[in-house]
Chain A
Amino acid sequence: MNNYALIAIIVVYLAVLFYIAFLAEKKRQSKWVNNPYVYTLSLAVYCSAWTYYGSIGIAANSGINFLPIYLGPVIAAPLWVIVLRKIIRISKQHKISSIADFISLRYGNNRFLGALVTIVCLFGTLPYISLQLKAVSETFAIMSDDSSYVSTAVIDDSTFYVALLLAIFATFFGTQNTDASEKHKGIIASVAFESVLKLVFFLIIGAYITFYLFDGTTDIYEKISVTENFKQLTILGGLEEGFNWFFMISLSFMAIFLLPRQFQVSVLENNREKHLKKAIWLFPLYLLLFNVFVIFIAWAGKLTFGSTQNAEYYTLLLPLENGNSFLATLVFLGGFSAVISMVIVSTLALSTMVSNNLIIPYGFLDKFIKNQPERNSKYIKNIRRISIFTIIISAYFFYVSFSKELSLYSIGLISFVIISQLAPSFFIGLFWNRGFSKAAIIGIIVGFFITVYTLILPFTLQAYTGNDDFTQYGLFGMPALKPYALFGIDFLSAPAHAFFWSMSFNVMSYLVFSLISKGNYRERNYAEMFVDSRNFTSLQDSALVWKGEAYVSDIKNVLVRFLGEKRATRALTIFFTKYKLPQDTQMADARLINFSEKLLTGSIGSASAKILIASVVKEEQISLVEVLKILEESKENIVSNKVLLEKSNELSQLSSKLKDANEELITKDKQKDEFLDTVAHELKTPITGIRAATELLMDEDDDMPKEMKEQFLKNILQDSDRLGRLIHNILDFEKLETGRLNLDKQYLDIHKTIIKAINSVSQIAAKKDVRIINKNVHAFKINYDEDRILQVLTNLLSNAIKFCEPKTGKIIVDYKLGNQFVEISVTDNGKGILEEDHNYIFDKFYQSKYQNTIKPQGSGLGLAITKQIIEKHNGKIWAKKGKKIGATLVFTIPFK
């Protein structure tokens, strides 16, 4: 195909992407842009040219070894719900704009750590971008029939212009906002679109090769299985190969979290946490689809070309060989899509890191403080734009210098191993609050240098010196220091070997230095926030470990420089309202400091934000001793608060008890008053009778008839008896109620006592012609005070007689043996007890509303006393419920 035609296709295709990105930016809120599918497809930025072309190269040369790179992410996907969600949450809360920001914030906004992470990412990503450029360049060459592509001069090299085009695209959509934590919806939409294209085109070519050029998978298999070396392509070789696989899977597992472009799409561009739920199954499915045809394309290519062609480009070469240049163009566009998305997202992520974590905190801050807000924002954008261009151009030169000799696959792995150096400080730091910045820095540096030594140095040296002495004999000729077989471990592939050693030292350094260093208060605070992200807000707001002095006006000035007057004022108003502070607050507290840092983080990165805010805050260094003291105090506070709480609970319990007691006293007082009132009334009644009758009898002028005189005398006698009885009962009752009565218990026959009681009332019964039947004639001996039980029985019998009708009255006394008590009952056929009276009949002086109109001769204390006596015997007394005729009163006396 003609060079220019190809370039025209590229330009048209870029224009389409441009248009999609433009549309998405314009309709930012549309659900076409904000849905889990776009999110998942944007994650597929993972599948770069390395996947698109490189996998086939590996499949052709070393069998299924291309798989671990996809198995890692597949294994990681289910964990996203826990790990990635946590990361997303923290990043959103803190307006994190890159992985460098994330890590540096975890270790207390450590500026150096942020810069270090940026550098590691640069080293890890530059070769990766150059790999993409290499793929573009080489596929371009395959597609073009003009061999002028390999130009010695940069100016003639089409790859250079492709790189420039990419840089423009990334610049345009990547730097619309100063706040890098804002979403880049245009870029994400175009990435999602590209992800669809690259998969579809790859599947089309896979199907074309497998089913059109060959007769399906079995056909290819049968043909390839007869070639030599086939066995070693399809089987896993022994334990060593197992280790290789293990390390490769671990490597890609980490990469899916740590690669700047993955962090960008999965964390920073995440709209809603719930999109993760779809992504955890859809993304692995995407990877699976991408790998379905890989092995067959590789075999098909091998069958067709033998070893004469670069296996990585079988997808292009096979259709071209068969004269299908249309399909080849589609494949080329698919690969180009994979390249563009990777390059753009990576440079976007890197440029943010470079500007926020490297350039701004190390040099431009002073300038910013003096500048006007509009100019600051312009500056920041320009820094990013220049960064994007610089990165892409650097990648181009890296490609020109190194990548031409290396396969796509090996470059990709170098990137992975470098990036994986962030893993310990990233992953362990998320779940272990003891990890400190010093340890993170040392771990990353140690790991990085080991990677350089074991992976980068060998091929760089070889590229420059042209010999492999270093690889062959090791540093200074020491075999233990051979870069591919450090300390004698020679069975691993170079990347696995580098990964193994760098990671071991990295993790070890991280753990050891974390344990021996203590970190400052800031680190501890942030460590706590990250590890315990659910308490994030409260921890963030806690003014626990901050000591310093700052004026709100100073802080506002800083904010204005980056946010503008309007946004800064609004932010402060919101802050003061949220924490219920007066709008004219003068002195800033720790919460405002944190809040302001967070506001600035999006624009200039967390480390710079910290430095900027610190510049207006007279922050006093808090010594560790002080921190410990503060912590100790707060602990004491918590403890003493707890004690206080317990005390106050105790107090409130006590006071409620007191209240109850008081109420009881009042009630008792009232009851006592009522009791005395009633007693007085009851005593006065017979006295009144006696007094009136006596007065009448004494009147000598009166000639009272004799029978009248006798009647009055009888009345006096009756009233006197009543009075005596009453006084006796009152004293008795008082004695019982105050507990001063001592029972004189004896072991006696209850039956005999019942007979005695019946005998004592027989006269009154006979007078009224009421029959008393003693039903149970068996003797039973129990322990009781006979006089008192006699009193009870007499009382119950008298009551029964009183309420019975003359002549027809019938009273039955019975007793039964219960499990542990004797149950004695007195039943009459009188007028019975009303249901509503059942609860009151044992109250002193209670008289039913429906009693006889003629007041019965009683003290009103009979049943009350009876109850007391029974209770004194530990028994119970009650009136049987639900009786139609008469009443039955039952009491029990326990025996044991």
Chain B
Amino acid sequence: MKKKILIVDDEPNIVMSLEYTFKKQDFEVYIARDGSEALEILKHHIPNVVLLDIMMPNVDGYQTLKHIKNTDRLKDTKVVFLTAKNKASDIEKGLKLGADKYLTKPFSVKKIVSEILELLT
């Protein structure tokens, strides 16, 4: 069974690279351009992992994470933050909220893949 990933980011160029990469890794890829779109998708799908940007219009990454954590249906879904916010305080906040991993931009595509795969085994 194909692993499912939801990529949530408002930067189309970045999304494009990630989408290409994870499709190559045989993931079923869902894409959302902000938190609200992500929540809409999560109503119908239960991905194995959500790759989540923080600074987004409307519903941001933090709110999206909280929603996932509060949804019983999504209790097995891992959440990984992928953001430009790389201050120690930001990282601490992200992990405290319950993110499984905190990855920062700019990133190496390979590194992201290995981190996600590691998380899912």
Given A688-B84, A693-B13, A702-B24, A855-B106 contact (CB < 8 Å): no
List residues of chain B with CB within 8 A of the CB of A691.
106-108
Distance (whole angstroms) from the CB of B102 to the closest CB of chain A: 15
Is B16 touching A711 in the complex (CB atoms < 8 A)?
yes
At the interface, yes or no: A681 with Cβ under 8 Å from chain B? yes
* Distance in Å: Cβ of A476 to nearest Cβ of chain B: 116
Q: Report the bound CA distance from A715 to B18 in whole Å.
A: 13
Assuming the A-B contacts A685-B84, A692-B109, A853-B34, are A712 and B16 also in contact, with contact meaning beta carbons closer than 8 angstroms in the complex?
Answer: yes
Q: Does B76 contact A (CB under 8 A)?
A: no
**Cβ of B17 and Cβ of A692 under 8 Å apart?**
yes
B110: Cβ under 8 A from any A Cβ = yes
Report A-chain residues with C-beta under 8 Å of the C-beta of B29: none
Cβ–Cβ contact A692 & B106, under 8 A: yes
The complex places the Cα of A686 from the Cα of B84 at a distance, in Å, of 11
Q: B16–A685 contact, CB under 8 A?
A: no
Most central of B18, B37, B84, B87 by chain A CB within 10 Å: B84
Whether A534 is near chain B, meaning CB under 8 Å from some CB there, is no
What are 15 sample pairs from A and B whose C-beta atoms fall under 8 A apart?
A677-B85, A681-B85, A685-B105, A686-B13, A687-B106, A688-B14, A688-B107, A689-B13, A693-B13, A693-B16, A693-B17, A696-B109, A847-B57, A849-B57, A854-B12
- Residue in chain A with minimal CB distance to B34: A853
Partner of B18, one of A692, A704, A718: A692
Whether A696 touches B20, Cβ cut-off 8 Å, given contacts A691-B107, A849-B58, A853-B57, is yes
Q: B101 within 8 Å of A by Cβ?
A: no
Contacts of B110 in A (CB 8 A): 695
Residues of B within 8 A of A854 (CB): 10, 12, 33
A239 within 8 A of B: no
Query: Is there a chain A Cβ closer than 8 Å to B42's Cβ?
Result: no
A685 touches B11 (CB 8 A): yes
Residues on B with beta carbons closer than 8 Å to the beta carbon of A553: none
> In the bound complex, do residue A689 and residue B55 qualify as a contact, i.e. CB atoms below 8 Å apart?
no
Kindly list chain A residues whose C-beta atoms are within 8 Å of the C-beta of B84: 680-681, 684-685, 688
- In the complex, chain A residues 669-717 whose Cβ is within 8 Å of any chain B Cβ: 677, 680-681, 684-693, 695-696, 702, 704, 708, 711-712, 715
Asked whether, in the complex, the Cβ of A689 is within 8 Å of the Cβ of B14, the reply is yes
A684 lies within 8 A of B57 (CB): no
Q: Does B21 contact A (CB under 8 A)?
A: yes
B interface list, Cβ under 8 A from A: 10-14, 16-18, 20-21, 24, 33-34, 37, 55, 57-58, 84-85, 87, 105-110
A685 close to B20 (CB less than 8 A):
no
Q: How far is the CA of A849 from the CA of B21 in the complex (A)?
A: 30
The 10 closest A-B pairs by CB, nearest first: A692-B17, A689-B13, A684-B84, A688-B106, A688-B105, A691-B106, A715-B13, A681-B84, A695-B109, A855-B10
Closest A residue to B11 using CB positions = A685
- The residue in chain A whose Cβ has the minimal distance to the Cβ of B55 is A681
Number of A-B contacts (CB under 8 A): 77
List chain B residues, Cβ under 8 A from A684: 84, 105-106
Contacting residues, chain B, for A194 (C-beta < 8 A): none
Residues of A contacting B11 in the complex (Cβ-Cβ under 8 angstroms): 685, 688-689, 855
Give the complex CA separation of A687 and B12 in angstroms: 13
Q: In the docked arrangement, what's the CA distance between A681 and B9, Å?
A: 14
Given A688-B84, A849-B58, verify A695-B24 contact (CB < 8 Å): no
Within 8 A of B (CB), among A630-645: none
| Chain B, Cβ-Cβ closest to A678 | B55
B33: A residues at CB distance < 8 A: 853-854
Q: How far is the CA of A847 from the CA of B107 in the complex (A)?
A: 25
Is residue A649 contacting chain B, with contact meaning CB distance below 8 A?
no
If A692-B13, A695-B109, A851-B57 are given as contacts, then 4 extra A-B residue pairs at C-beta distance below 8 Å, sorted by A number, are A681-B55, A695-B17, A704-B20, A854-B33
- Asked whether, in the complex, the Cβ of B108 is within 8 Å of the Cβ of A695, the reply is yes
Interface centre among B10, B13, B21, B87 (most CB of A within 10 A): B13
- By size class, the interface of chain A is 20 to 34
Q: Which residues of B contact A855 (CB under 8 A)?
A: 10-12, 57
User: Across the interface, which residues of B come within 8 angstroms of A715, CB to CB?
Assistant: 13, 16-17
Q: Is A269 an interface residue (CB 8 A)?
A: no
| Chain A residues whose C-beta falls within 8 Å of the C-beta of B37 in the assembled complex | 853
Q: How far is the CB of B9 from chain A (nearest CB, A)?
A: 10
Within 8 A of B (CB), among A839-859: 847, 849, 851, 853-855
With a cutoff of 8 Å between Cβ atoms, the chain B residues found around residue A693 in the complex are 13, 16-17
CB of A786 within 8 Å of the partner chain: no
- Which residues of the other chain, B, contact A690 by a CB distance below 8 angstroms? 106
Taking each of A677, A692, A718, A719, which has the highest tally of chain B beta carbons within 10 Å of its own beta carbon?
A: A692
Residue among A680, A684, A690, A711 with the most chain B CB within 10 A? Answer: A684
With A and B bound together, what is the CA distance between A692 and B13 in angstroms?
A: 9
Chain B residues with Cβ below 8 Å from A718 are 13
Instruction: Determine the distance from Cα of A465 to Cα of B99 in the docked complex, in whole angstroms.
Output: 132
Min Cβ gap A712→B in Å is 7
Output the least CB separation between A858 and chain B (Å).
13
The docked-state distance in angstroms from the alpha carbon of A688 to that of B18 is: 11
Residues of A within 8 A of B14 (CB): 685, 688-689, 692
Q: Are A712 and B17 in contact (CB under 8 A)?
A: yes
CB-nearest residue of chain B to A673: B87
Nearest to A852 among chain B residues (CB) is B57
Query: Least Cβ distance of B16 to chain A in Å?
Result: 6
Q: How far is the CA of A687 from the CA of B104 in the complex (A)?
A: 12
Contact A692 B107 (CB under 8 A): yes
Chain A residues whose C-beta falls within 8 Å of the C-beta of B55 in the assembled complex:
681
Min CB–CB distance A792 → chain B (angstroms): 26
A677 and B84 CA atoms in complex are apart in Å by: 9
Residues of B within 8 A of A687 (CB): 105-106
Could you tell me if A689 and B57 are in contact, using CB atoms closer than 8 angstroms?
no
Q: What are the interface flags for A727-739 relative to B under an 8 Å C-beta threshold, 1 for contact and 0 otherwise?
A: 0000000000000
Contact A696 B17 (CB under 8 A): yes
Per the bound structure, the CA–CA distance linking A666 and B108 in Å amounts to 37
User: Looking at the complex, which one of B10, B13, B34 makes contact with A719 (CB distance below 8 Å)?
Assistant: B13
Min CB–CB distance A453 → chain B (angstroms): 106
B17 lies within 8 A of A689 (CB): yes
In the complex, residue of chain B having the shortest beta-carbon distance to the beta carbon of A722: B13
Partner of B21 from A689, A696, A719, A853 at Cβ < 8 Å: A696
Task: State the Cβ distance, B82 to closest chain A Cβ, in Å.
Answer: 9
Which chain A residues lie closer than 8 Å to B17 at the CB level? Answer: 689, 692-693, 695-696, 712, 715
**Cα distance A849–B59 in the bound complex, in angstroms:** 9
Minimum Cβ distance to chain B for residue A65 (Å): 106
Cα(A690)–Cα(B13), bound, Å? 8
- Given the complex of chains A and B, what is the CA–CA distance between A685 and B108 in angstroms? 14
Q: Give the Cβ gap from A78 to chain B, nearest Cβ, in Å.
A: 83
Bound-state Cα–Cα, A695 to B17, Å:
9
Q: How far is the CA of A569 from the CA of B109 in the complex (A)?
A: 97
CA distance A851 to B58 in the complex (A): 9
Interface centre among A688, A702, A715, A718 (most CB of B within 10 A): A688
Please give, as numbers and ranges, the residues of chain B lying within 8 Å of A702 by CB-CB distance.
24
Q: How far, in whole Å, are A77 and B105 apart by their CA atoms in the complex?
A: 98
Q: CB-CB < 8 A to B105: which residues of A?
A: 684-685, 687-688
* Nearest-Cβ distance from residue B34 to partner chain A, whole angstroms: 6
Hey, which chain A residues are within 8 Å of B85, CB to CB? 677, 681
Instruction: Return B73 CB to nearest CB of chain A, in Å.
Output: 25
Give chain B nearest CB distance to A698 CB in angstroms: 10
- Cβ contacts under 8 Å, A677 to chain B: 85, 87
